[in-house]
Chains A and B, each alone.
Chain A
Amino acid sequence: MLEALWNNVDYVASVVLFCIGLYIIIAKNNLIKKFLGLNIMETAVFSFIVALGVVDGGEPPIMGPDATPPFASPIPQALVLTGIVVAVSTTALALSLIIRIYRQCGTIEADELREME
């Protein structure tokens, strides 16, 4: 069991990161901190996807005269690139919302905002 975990330590690490991010979103009061938690979750998922593409002894998958298999899988990197674009736009939108919340309410602490509602 432990050996299986150790052999897949990259997957375990991303699951742990994912849970840390989720914990921050639930436990922290400050909206920016909540959002940082979300970014940690995003990073966890991206690192998981990148780790999926690893092939033991894999070469970069670039075709050429001296290209020798095995190749690392290129698809996960393409996926993560798209994922990062999505994450950036989510971050931009969330930060602009936080700015507007601060301008209107003068605070970005979740409990104080709840009282105002």
Chain B
Amino acid sequence: MYDWAHWLPLAILTPLLGAVLTPVVSLRSRHVAVWWSLGVMTVTSVAAAMLIIRVALEGPFSYLPGGWEPPYGIELRFDEFSASVSVIVLIGWLAVLYSLRYTEWLREVPKQRIPYYYSLLLLNLGGMIGFVVTGDLFNLFVFLEILSLSSYALVAFSGEHIAEMAAFKYLLMGAISSLLVLFSIAILFGLTGSLNMADVATRLSSAESVAPAALALGMLTVGFMVKAALFPVHIWLPDAHSIAPSPISAVLSGLVVKIGILGMIRIYQIYNTAGVIDMHWLNHVLVWLGAISIVMGAFFAIFQDDIKLMLAYSTISNIGYIVMGLGLSTNFSIIGGSVHVFNHALIKATLFFAAGCLIYRTGYRTLTDLRGVGHSMPLTSIAISIGAISIVGIPPTAGFLCKWYITLGAFEAEQPFFGFALIFGALFIFIYYIRMVNAFYFQAPTHPEILEVKEAPASMLFPTLFLAGLCLVMGILGRIPLAFIEPAAQRLLAPLGG
């Protein structure tokens, strides 16, 4: 019998093996690297598509590598949250295509090193896919480290003069958070004697003592908060995400920070099932931190002139939305938050791709310098405008549904204050994106030659426009992901009420 679950290890191993082989296949000519990576990502996309079809038809399923039964063997588990591999392979594929021209343009990077860039990018994507499908706590840590280490290196790749500083800051905070995660996994292992998530959850309910479990929960939350760049520990994000090469910024901002969120979801699943700790206080903390992130991120973004720095601050704000949705822990808010993981990835990748096109053609990166670029690069500017209205949450676009659901959730939880915080944040966001659109279309150019630049090359324009189109389509077809994630949200919620 043909079992679709066999695609699961393939989806992880293809990008990881592809990454290892990239420098080898491009020994003769470095131009092979990009096509090789595209091929690897295509195979991975097919595998991901198969898995998503299976989970949509039959619900969550497991795969046991080597046939060892859990809890002794490793378990790969694919559930509705794992369906985020769809957006990982989509943005990953487009980022590879986008890099075709962009990496050649990075002047500081020696040309013969470019294959290593693709190698790191594939490692990063493979680590993320592994992270979202694993059912084993230690595997979770290993994949977390694969994706984190490759992101630190990729940030340094742009060769701008403070790139290494930004990468080092990112590395230091990221490594501390990874160690917190590892420490708490060790505590859970010591308490339960198991590493399988489902098994840990059942054994935790009969654990001898609650205090170490609570300590582990706290450290895991802080660890994943750093990865997700939530408010008090967001300080690494603006530099790292704005300095990185634009396709990498899209991957980091769209996907890598979401890994922190997905990690939190996994951990809370364990603790909710075990039911040993009252999660209400934690949810309350998360809602507050989310609300502060929304307002702070949006507020700082207003004062940025650098377009990528502005987008980076807006990521902090949007992570706030997702965390607030999870923390409110009502049906609507969790669905809204989970779908925003997906939609924000699309929107933010659109914006970073478009910003990369502008920087590629003009060489400027501040709004003042980019004035008037809307006339010479109309398609890119349309893409960036679509991204902007999506992220504000104006109805026909992808951002609207999630924010609407989270706001509904705030009212459902009888905490309307947070609903207002959300709308307030959206207003701030509206201000800074209006500033951007205004600069591109309506202000007199600071540099007259900007009116002469050509539209971005097709390999960069296609990913940008494709994602911008998806932002619109996902707004109209928004019911599909909402209905898809609902059973998972119910599962996450059910032990809380009972």
**A-side contacts of B167, CB under 8 Å:** 97
Given contacts A45-B183, A90-B149, A90-B171, contact A104 B164 (CB under 8 A): yes
In the docked arrangement, what's the CA distance between A7 and B165, Å?
A: 44
Q: Looking at the complex, which of B86-94, B174-182, B395-403, B447-455 is the stretch in contact with chain A? A: B174-182
| B164 with A52: CB separation less than 8 A | no
**Inter-chain contacts of B193 with A (CB < 8 A):** 73
Cβ-Cβ contact count across A and B, 8 Å cutoff: 72
Give the residue name and chain of the B residue nearest to A18 (CB).
Answer: B183
How far apart are the CA atoms of A34 and B145 in the complex, in Å? 20
Q: Does A98 contact B168, Cβ atoms closer than 8 Å? A: yes
Given A49-B186, A79-B138, A83-B182, does the pair A97, B176 have CB atoms closer than 8 Å?
no
- A89 with B138, Cβ < 8 A, contacts A38-B175, A97-B156 known: no
- Decide if B152 touches A117 in the complex (CB within 8 Å): no
Min CB gap A76→B, angstroms: 8
What's the least CB distance linking A55 to chain B, in Å? 11
Q: What residues of chain A lie closer than 8 Å to B161, measured between beta carbons?
A: 104
Chain B residues in 8 Å Cβ range of A113: 165
Give the number of residues in A that approach B within 8 Å (Cβ atoms): 31
Q: Is the CB of A90 within 8 A of B175?
A: yes
Closest beta carbon of chain A to B433's beta carbon, Å: 27
Would A100 and B145 count as touching, CB distance under 8 A?
no
Q: How distant is the Cα of A90 from the Cα of B176 in the complex, in angstroms?
A: 11
Residue in B145, B168, B182 whose CB lies within 8 Å of A97:
B168
Contact code string A92-104 (vs B, CB < 8 Å = 1, else 0): 0110011011001
In the complex, per-residue mask of A19-47: 1 if CB is within 8 Å of any chain B CB, else 0? 00010010000010011001001100100
- Tell me which of A18, A49, A75, A101 contacts B165 (CB under 8 A): A101
Partner of B176, one of A25, A75, A76, A98: A25
CB neighbours of B182 from chain A (8 A)? 45, 49, 83
Residues from chain B with a CB closer than 8 A to the CB of A117 are 162, 165
Instruction: Give min CB distance, B91 to chain A, whole Å.
Output: 24
Chain B residues with CB under 8 Å of A67's CB are none
Cβ-defined contact, A89 with B149, below 8 A: yes
Tell whether, in the assembled complex, residue B189 and residue A52 are in contact, meaning their CB atoms are under 8 Å apart: yes
Least Cβ distance of B173 to chain A in Å? Answer: 9
Taking a contact as CB atoms under 8 Å apart, the answer to whether B172 and A38 are in contact is yes
C-alpha gap A67/B344 in the complex (Å): 57
> Cβ of B179 and Cβ of A45 under 8 Å apart?
yes
Q: Main SS of chain A's interface residues? A: helix
> Is B427 among interface residues, defined by CB-CB distance under 8 A?
no
Q: How far is the CA of A100 from the CA of B145 in the complex (A)?
A: 22
Docked CA distance A38–B165 (Å): 17
Question: Of B161, B168, B176, which is in contact with the most chain A CB atoms at under 10 Å from its CB?
Answer: B168
Question: Are A94 and B171 in touch, CB under 8 angstroms?
Answer: yes
Q: Report the minimal beta-carbon distance from B148 to chain A, rounded to whole angstroms.
A: 9
Is A42 a contact of B179 with CB atoms below 8 Å? yes
Chain B residues within 8 Å of A79, by CB: 138, 186, 189
Closest residue to A92 on the B side, CB-wise? Answer: B149
Pick from B153, B156, B164, B176: contact of A22, CB under 8 Å: B176
- Bound complex: CA of A98 vs CA of B168, how far in Å? 8
Q: Is B190 an interface residue (CB 8 A)?
A: yes
CA distance A76 to B182 in the complex (A): 12
By a CB distance below 8 angstroms, the chain A residues around B195 are 75
Within 8 Å of chain A (Cβ to Cβ): is B64?
no
Query: Given A38-B176, A45-B179, A79-B138, A93–B186 Cβ distance below 8 Å?
Result: no
Residues of the B chain whose Cβ atoms lie less than 8 Å from the Cβ of A100 = 156, 164
Q: Let me know if B488 is at the binding interface, CB within 8 A.
A: no
Q: In the complex, given contacts A18-B183, A34-B172, A100-B156, what are 4 additional A-B residue pairs having Cβ atoms less than 8 angstroms apart?
A: A25-B176, A35-B172, A38-B176, A101-B168
Cross-chain pairs A/B with CB under 8 angstroms, 30 sampled: A22-B176, A25-B172, A25-B176, A31-B168, A38-B175, A38-B176, A42-B179, A49-B182, A52-B186, A73-B193, A76-B189, A79-B186, A82-B138, A83-B182, A86-B142, A86-B145, A86-B149, A90-B171, A93-B149, A93-B171, A94-B168, A97-B152, A97-B168, A97-B171, A98-B168, A100-B156, A100-B164, A104-B161, A113-B165, A117-B162
Top 8 A-B pairs, shortest CB-CB distance: A52-B190, A86-B145, A49-B186, A100-B164, A101-B164, A97-B168, A45-B183, A97-B164
| B contact set with A: CB distance below 8 Å | 138, 142, 145, 149, 152-153, 156, 161-162, 164-165, 167-168, 171-172, 175-176, 178-179, 182-183, 186, 189-190, 193, 195
